[in-house]
Amino acid sequence: MIGRIIGALVGREVSRRDGNSGLKGAALGALAVGGMRRLGPLGLLLGGGYAAKKAYDRHKANKALDTRI
């Protein structure tokens, strides 16, 4: 279950980056889940790290925009 959640987060980050429909993000998220299952705990760590890094970068960028206004 955790792998599916992380796959959804990875898919969401891909969709946000492209700005297109969520279909591409959903497909890549599903592929990420398959890859994470094959890699085991390392896959969960890599997928979770990717999603966390993107969320942190987005938070940092939004914080910088808030201070400029």
Number of continuous H segments (helices) and E segments (strands) in the chain: 3, 0
Task: Tell me the average pLDDT of the chain.
Answer: 78
Per-residue pLDDT band at 18 (split at 50, 70, 90) = low
**Whether the predicted pLDDT of 28 surpasses 80:** no
Token digits of residue 66: 């808030």
* Amino acid, res. 50: Y
Query: 6 Cβ partners below 8 Å, 6+ apart?
Result: 32, 33, 36, 44, 47, 48, 51
* Amino acid, res. 41: P
- For CA atoms 65, 56, 22, 25, the dihedral sign is positive
